[in-house]
Chain A
């Protein structure tokens, strides 16, 4: 910004200010009405639903107070859902970032045909979660999958099923992580690496001392995106395992959205409040991490 102060607006008349305010409210109205109806109203409804228990056949609901909410959030089912969602993050976030960096660093050089490699590495952005899940049916389905006999990918084993499902997310996100990290690498001034080379920095040292700090905002952004995606994983679970074997791939969202009607509306609403709390924690961490620790250049 320049040192010259912005031109001060001429003092405006009251009527003008009112007109501007009315225009502002009119412009905001569509968004605010939609958000009130489909974000804030449902939040109040979730609280209300969690405080009521639906009678059999869903004809009536009775007030039960916070007991149902407390029971649900301290119960085994909720704990298991949170644990599976957390495991999903552990499986997808580090692996996704490492593979993304590997792809981007490999494809960030002048080489004949590099555009073709870049196109290939970007290609998975053309898949949705559901399409990626169908693709992984061809790979890991216990009956028809190409790798059906590979033990550590087995969907029949409660210990490996969630990992196997999570690989479909890792693969699906390769395109996104590649594109974002490559753009970030391309923004690094070449002089920086040249100067470091002249100063005798070895390639690994250049990578960890220059490249990694400079792409850290992109990595942070991707980490947040991948964490949120893990929290919201659903289609790949329904298509690959439908929560099984047993409940070994039921993440928190799967338990909430599960259409099989195992849990009552009150319990699902209580779990939704738990998911809301987790979303808020992730957002707070995102905010905290973004405001420090990450190199932003100048």
Chain B
């Protein structure tokens, strides 16, 4: 990863604005002239209409490819499993049971699993935010001996994801008596090199003059951090929060191994349990998958901008 590159977030914001804002209008005017060129060469309005229809056709076909699995999930969630199979798997519901969602929520342990997931996710995101902002500030604005060595130590943990250290960390948690516990589910994730690195990039984008001015105004480091650095880095921090939330909510391998009691299952693990039940109750698992996805669907709807920014945060200029 190039440590010299500027704030990785910046180009993305421009990128996502290019599609809608006023730049789009300018582009529209230009495009109109380009179209004039082609009409001069004899392309008729009919041809253009056909082209548009062609694009819609392609986009509809691709939409179908993306949505068919989701349609299948909803269809099978509300259909009675055995009756649906017996009917030869039609593309319409068979004996729809709309109460399947409430049954999955109440009867199948999903409400408590969702609550546990929410707690674990919030704790992980909050802890990662704190350790990342503080660590990033130290690397961006403070001078101390062995700074470079420590930076390498932090970044090198990217080579030690939970999948690699799983066997050893599970032993640690077990020896501490933390299987089936909130500390067991959260502590291994309180710090992340990615967060420190990303937010440090944001901090490095803050002009030095601003730091100097703040010093002249008598701002100490604490005040500069919370009054200037953090507010100015909101986009990067927002991106990080999205990534952190997705990672924590979607975790599977760790909670699968760090719990062995049904009452300590997170939402993702509870889904697995549902799929192993009787075949005539598989629709509870399908309904469960819908329920488990709802927080992320809400995130996608209400924080679309932050989500796009977060997902693309690492993409620009490495």
Q: Which chain B residue shows the least CB distance to A128?
A: B250
In the complex, the number of residue pairs spanning A and B with C-beta atoms less than 8 Å apart equals: 307
Q: Which B residues from 155 to 191 make CB contacts under 8 A with A? A: 157-161, 163-169, 171-172, 187-191
Q: Does B40 contact A (CB under 8 A)?
A: no
B270 to chain A, nearest CB (A): 9
- Knowing A38-B187, A279-B159 touch, does A25 contact B164 (C-beta < 8 A)? no
Q: Which B residues from 136 to 154 make CB contacts under 8 A with A? A: 137-139, 142-145, 147, 150, 153-154
CB neighbours of A231 from chain B (8 A): 163
Tier of interface size on chain B: 35 or more
Q: Does A207 contact B (CB under 8 A)?
A: no
A179 touches B312 (CB 8 A): yes
Q: Does B102 contact A (CB under 8 A)?
A: no
- Knowing A235-B268, A290-B2 touch, does A20 contact B144 (C-beta < 8 A)? yes
Q: Which chain B residue shows the least CB distance to A231?
A: B163
Q: Does B119 contact A (CB under 8 A)?
A: no
B90 to chain A, nearest CB (A): 10
B208 touches A130 (CB 8 A): no
CA distance A234 to B256 in the complex (A): 10
Of A64-72, A76-84, A89-97, A268-276, the one with at least 4 CB within 8 A of chain B: A268-276
- Knowing A134-B288, A138-B73 touch, does A144 contact B279 (C-beta < 8 A)? yes
CA distance A225 to B66 in the complex (A): 20
| Contact residue among A7, A106, A259 (Cβ-Cβ distance under 8 Å from B212) | A7
B311 touches A176 (CB 8 A): yes
B300 touches A125 (CB 8 A): yes
CA distance A213 to B165 in the complex (A): 37
Q: Which B residues from 212 to 249 make CB contacts under 8 A with A? A: 212, 221, 246, 249
Q: Which chain A residue shows the least CB distance to B13?
A: A183
A46 touches B168 (CB 8 A): yes
B268 to chain A, nearest CB (A): 4
B315 touches A183 (CB 8 A): yes
Q: Does A239 contact B (CB under 8 A)?
A: yes
Chain A residue total in the interface (Cβ 8 A): 101
B16 touches A259 (CB 8 A): no
Contact with B along A205-230 (1 / 0, CB 8 A): 00000000000011011100100000
B133 to chain A, nearest CB (A): 9
A257 touches B163 (CB 8 A): yes
Q: Which chain A residue shows the least CB distance to B76?
A: A138
B317 touches A217 (CB 8 A): yes
B34 touches A217 (CB 8 A): no
| Contact residue among B196, B221, B288, B297 (Cβ-Cβ distance under 8 Å from A31) | B196
B172 touches A41 (CB 8 A): yes
CA distance A283 to B317 in the complex (A): 16
CA distance A7 to B213 in the complex (A): 11
| Contact residue among B62, B131, B288 (Cβ-Cβ distance under 8 Å from A106) | B62
B295 to chain A, nearest CB (A): 9
CB neighbours of A176 from chain B (8 A): 311
B157 touches A39 (CB 8 A): yes
Q: Does A285 contact B (CB under 8 A)?
A: no
A52 to chain B, nearest CB (A): 12
| Contact residue among A6, A23, A38, A138 (Cβ-Cβ distance under 8 Å from B286) | A138
| Contact residue among A139, A190, A253 (Cβ-Cβ distance under 8 Å from B30) | A190
| Contact residue among B159, B167, B212 (Cβ-Cβ distance under 8 Å from A272) | B167
Besides the known contacts A28-B135, A34-B188, 14 further A-B residue pairs in the complex with CB atoms under 8 A apart: A21-B143, A22-B144, A23-B138, A35-B191, A40-B160, A45-B171, A103-B62, A114-B59, A126-B293, A126-B296, A128-B268, A137-B282, A272-B166, A275-B164
Using a CB–CB cutoff of 8 Å, the interface residues on chain A facing chain B are: 6-7, 17, 20-25, 27-28, 30-32, 34-35, 37-43, 45-46, 49, 102-103, 106-107, 109-111, 113-114, 117, 120-131, 134-139, 143-144, 146, 171, 174, 176, 179-180, 182-184, 186-187, 190-191, 194, 197, 217-218, 220-222, 225, 231-232, 234-235, 238-239, 253, 256-257, 259, 265, 268-269, 272, 275-276, 279-280, 283, 287, 290-291, 294, 296
- What are 8 A-B residue pairs whose CB atoms fall within 8 Å in the complex? A43-B164, A46-B165, A111-B59, A135-B70, A138-B286, A217-B316, A239-B271, A259-B256
| Closest A-B pairs by Cβ, 5 of them | A42-B168, A21-B144, A24-B144, A128-B250, A34-B191
Using a CB–CB cutoff of 8 Å, the interface residues on chain B facing chain A are: 1-2, 11-12, 14-16, 18-19, 24, 27-28, 30-31, 34, 52, 55-56, 58-59, 62-63, 66-67, 69-70, 72-73, 75-76, 81, 85, 89, 130-132, 134-135, 137-139, 142-145, 147, 150, 153-154, 157-161, 163-169, 171-172, 187-191, 193, 196, 208-209, 212, 221, 246, 249-250, 252-253, 256-257, 268-269, 271-272, 275, 279, 282, 285-286, 288-289, 292-293, 296-297, 299-300, 307-308, 311-312, 314-318
